[in-house]
Structure 1
Amino acid sequence: MDVVTIGETMTLFTPNEEGPLRHARSFSMKFGGAESNVAIGLSRLGYKSRWISRLGEDEFGEAMLSFIRGEGVDVSFVTRDSEAPTGVFFKEFRRMNDTRVYYYRKHSAASKMSAELLPEEAIKDAAYLHITGITPALGQSSRSIIDKAIRIAKDNSTRIVFDPNLRLKIWSNENEARHYLTKYASECDIVMPGVAEAEFLFGTHTPEQYVDYFHDLGVNTVLMKLGKEGSLISAPSIPKTYVPGFLVERVVDPVGAGDAFAAGVLSGLLDGFSLNEAVRRGNAMGAMVTMVNGDAEGLPNRADLDLFMNGCKEDVKR
C-alpha cells in the first residue's frame, strides 16, 4: 500500500446557483472530505491508497462508500455505525472568491471512530500515513485512533504526513486546537501547513520564520503552502526554497486545493522525485482543482496533470 489516510468524509450539498444559501432551491449531491480527497487524488494517478473511516448505516453512507470504492480506493477498513448518521455539509457560493462551508457533523458516525476499530494491518504495509487536524478535532475518541495510527506507523517505519487543516468551528476552543495541532506536528515527518494555520499557531511572522518554528517542534520536512505564490520548502539537506505556483485565470472553488497539493506531493515522493519536483507537482494539482466545482471532481488523472504542467505557466519566479 502506498498511502493510508484516516478521516471523516461527508455528504456535500452544493446549490445549483450562486448567492446566499437562503435563496437556494435546488442542490447537487457530492461527497467531500480532506482525507478521501487525498486518497482519490492518488488513486487517479495510479497509486494504491486506502481510506479509513466510519459511516452511518444510511443511504448517504451507502452512496459514499460506493463512490470512493469506485474511484479505486481501498475501503476494506471502513466500519459502519447503526446508531449514528453519516455527516452532511453545505457549500455556499455567495459571490466570486467568497465560498463558505456549513457543517452538520455533530454526533456523526465518523466522530465515533476509536482506537479499537483500527487493526495494525490497516497501516503497517503503507509507505506513508496521511493525517489531518480535522480528525482529532472531532473529539477524544477520534484522537485515540490517530494516536494509535501514529504508533503503528512509527513501529513499521511508515513515514507520517500531517496537514493541520485548521477548522476552528469543530474544536472546543482555540487553546485546545493549538495544543493538539502542535502535538501532532511534532510527531510527524512531513508537515504541510498554510500561512493562516501557521499564524494561528505561532503568531504573525514571515514564512521563513514559520518554517523554523515547525523545525523547532522536531519536524523534519516543512512544506509551507503560500496559495497562488506556490510553496516554501525546507528539510535538513535542503535550504529554504520557494517553489512557484501555477497561474489560474479564474478560481471556481478553492475548497480541496490543499488536499490536491498533498496528493501531488505524495505521488512525486513515491515516484522518487526530489522534494522540489514533488512540491511542484503538488502546486500544479492544487491549482487544477480550484478550476472545478467540487472537492474531488477536479482531481486529475496522470495525462491531464502532465498536460497542465507542460502547458501552464508558473505564476511566480523567485
Structure 2
Amino acid sequence: MTDESHRYDVVTFGEPMVLLLATDDLPLPIAQRFDYALAGAESNLATGLARLGHRVAYFGRVGADSFGERIRQTLRAEGIDVSGLSDDPQRPTGLLIRDSPRGRPITVEYRRSGSAATALAPDNLPTGLLEDTRLLHVTGITAALSESALAATEQAMAVAKEAGAAVSFDPNIRLRLADPARWQVIVKQLATYADIVFTGRDEAELIAPGVDPGRWYTDLGVTSVIVKDGGEGSSEYLPGSGEVVHAGIRTVPLVDPVGAGDAFNAGWISAWLDGADAPTREDSQTRLRTGAVVASMVVAVRGDCAGLPTRQLLDQVLAGGSDIIR
C-alpha cells in the first residue's frame, strides 16, 4: 500500500562505509582475500526496503574518492535516491574491515576517524527529503560520530516530525564510539523525538539497567517499542493497552549474524508501510514475523546485505511456499 501524498516511503541517513570482508572463513590476522561490499546500519536498511519495493531516499557524506563513488553507484543501482549524498573533498570515506570465521567470534575493525561522515552537520540536511516522507529512520551510530552529527540527527528528527512524518530510531549502540554514560545521554535525547524504537535486549539494559524497556521508552513519549532478543525472538509493546506481543525466529543455518538487526527493522517497517500499522495483536504479529523472516535470510549468507530479499521472495516465504523455485 503506497501513500502517494509523499514522494518517499522512507528517508534515512548515516555513515555509509565500504566493507572489506575476509573470505575463506579465515580470521583477519591471516586473511588472504577480501570481498568488496557496502556496510552501514542505515544503508543496510535502505537497501532492504528498496528491494521490497518501497520508495527510499538516503543522504549523508562520503569522500570524493573511489570508495565514495562505489557507495553512490551501489545504492543507486538498488533504486535508492542518493541525490542528498554529498562528496567531501577534504575527508575520506569510512572503511569497515571484518571477518566471518566459523567457530570463533567475528572481529570488526573500523577506519572512520576523520571520515566524511563525522563532519555531518545541521547545515547539510536536505530539508525537502525530510518533509516529503512517510517515515524517517535514524540510528544512534550516526549521532555518536561527533557533536555536529548528533545535532544534525536531532534536527532531522525534529524537521520530519514537524512535517507529520513518523520517526523510527534504533540506538544501535557501538561502545567503540562512546562509553555507556555517553550513550545514555544520546539515546534519551533522541528517543524523545521517536514514534517507533527498535532496541536490542542487551542495549536496553545498558541504557536503563533493571528497567523494562517498554515502560522506559513509552515514558519518553515513544508509541511503539520493539525489543530484539536474538535467538529468543522479538517483542513489541503495544501503545495504549500495554500488551506485549512476542514472536519467535525463523530457524535457518547461521552463516553470518552481522546485519540481522538492520534486516529485522527493514522487514518490520515494510509491513508497517504495507498497512499492518494498527496497534493490534494481529498487525503486531505480522510486523514481527516479517522482520524475523527478512533477518533470517540475511544471517543465512555472508555479508551485511547480500541476503536481503526481493518482494516476490519474501511473499513466497511468508506464505509458506516451496523451498525450491523451478
TM-score interval for Structure 1 and Structure 2 normalised by the shorter chain: over 0.9
1:281 aligned counterpart, secondary structure: helix
- Alignment match, 1:316: none
2:270 aligned counterpart, secondary structure: helix
- Alignment match, 2:275: 272
Q: Are the counterparts in 2 of residues 35 and 132 from structure 1 also a CA contact under 8 Å?
A: yes
Is 1:95 the counterpart of 2:102 in the alignment?
Answer: yes
Which stretch of structure 1 is more off in the superposition, 216-225 or 65-74?
216-225
- Alignment match, 1:309: 318
Q: Are the counterparts in 2 of residues 160 and 188 from structure 1 also a CA contact under 8 Å?
A: yes
1:169 aligned counterpart, secondary structure: coil
Task: After TM superposition, give the deviation of residue 94 of structure 1 in Å.
Answer: 3.6
Superimposed CA distance per residue, residues 79-99 of structure 1 (whole angstroms, 9 cap, x where no aligned partner): 100010000011122433622
Superimposed CA distance per residue, residues 267-300 of structure 1 (whole angstroms, 9 cap, x where no aligned partner): 1111111233122211111121110111111110
1:170 aligned counterpart, secondary structure: coil
- Partner Cα distance (1:144, 1:213) in 2: 23
Amino acid paired to 1:4: V
Amino acid paired to 1:163: D
Is 1:19 the counterpart of 2:20 in the alignment?
Answer: no
1:28 aligned counterpart, secondary structure: strand
- Partner Cα distance (1:292, 1:307) in 2: 19
- Partner Cα distance (1:31, 1:250) in 2: 23
Task: After TM superposition, give the deviation of residue 46 of structure 1 in Å.
Answer: 0.6
Is 1:183 the counterpart of 2:189 in the alignment?
Answer: yes
- Partner Cα distance (2:126, 2:25) in 1: 44
Seq. identity, %: 38
Superimposed CA distance per residue, residues 169-198 of structure 1 (whole angstroms, 9 cap, x where no aligned partner): 012x32111111122122200000001110
Amino acid paired to 1:109: A
2:48 to 29, 41, 52: 41
- Partner Cα distance (2:131, 2:189) in 1: 22
2:107 aligned counterpart, secondary structure: strand
- Partner Cα distance (1:306, 1:252) in 2: 23
Is 1:231 the counterpart of 2:240 in the alignment?
Answer: no
Is 1:289 the counterpart of 2:298 in the alignment?
Answer: yes
Q: 5+ residue gaps in structure 2?
A: 1-7, 277-282, 322-326
Is 1:196 the counterpart of 2:205 in the alignment?
Answer: no
Superimposed CA distance per residue, residues 6-42 of structure 1 (whole angstroms, 9 cap, x where no aligned partner): 1001110011122331101111111111101111111
Q: Are the counterparts in 1 of residues 247 and 288 from structure 2 also a CA contact under 8 Å?
A: no
- Partner Cα distance (2:243, 2:111) in 1: 40
Task: After TM superposition, give the deviation of residue 239 of structure 1 in Å.
Answer: 3.6
Q: How does 1:76-115 map to 2 (within 5 A)?
A: 76-96=83-103, 98-115=105-122
Superimposed CA distance per residue, residues 109-164 of structure 1 (whole angstroms, 9 cap, x where no aligned partner): 01111110113102101000000010011011111211220121121011100001
Q: Are the counterparts in 2 of residues 222 and 234 from structure 1 also a CA contact under 8 Å?
A: yes
- Alignment match, 1:158: 165
- Alignment match, 1:262: 265
Task: After TM superposition, give the deviation of residue 238 of structure 1 in Å.
Answer: 4.5
Q: 5+ residue gaps in structure 1?
A: 313-318
- Alignment match, 1:141: 148
- Partner Cα distance (1:5, 1:41) in 2: 12
Task: After TM superposition, give the deviation of residue 236 of structure 1 in Å.
Answer: 1.9
Is 1:31 the counterpart of 2:34 in the alignment?
Answer: no
Amino acid paired to 2:246: V
Q: Are the counterparts in 2 of residues 228 and 247 from structure 1 also a CA contact under 8 Å?
A: no
Q: How does 1:3-14 map to 2 (within 5 A)?
A: 3-14=10-21
Instruction: Please give the root-mean-square deviation of Cα atoms over the aligned residues, in Å.
Output: 1.5
- Partner Cα distance (2:213, 2:258) in 1: 23
2:90 aligned counterpart, secondary structure: coil
Task: After TM superposition, give the deviation of residue 210 of structure 1 in Å.
Answer: 2.2
- Partner Cα distance (2:163, 2:27) in 1: 49
Segments ≥4 residues shifted beyond 6 Å: none
Is 1:65 the counterpart of 2:78 in the alignment?
Answer: no
TM-score by length of 1: 0.93
- Alignment match, 1:218: 221
- Alignment match, 1:243: 246
TM-score by length of 2: 0.91
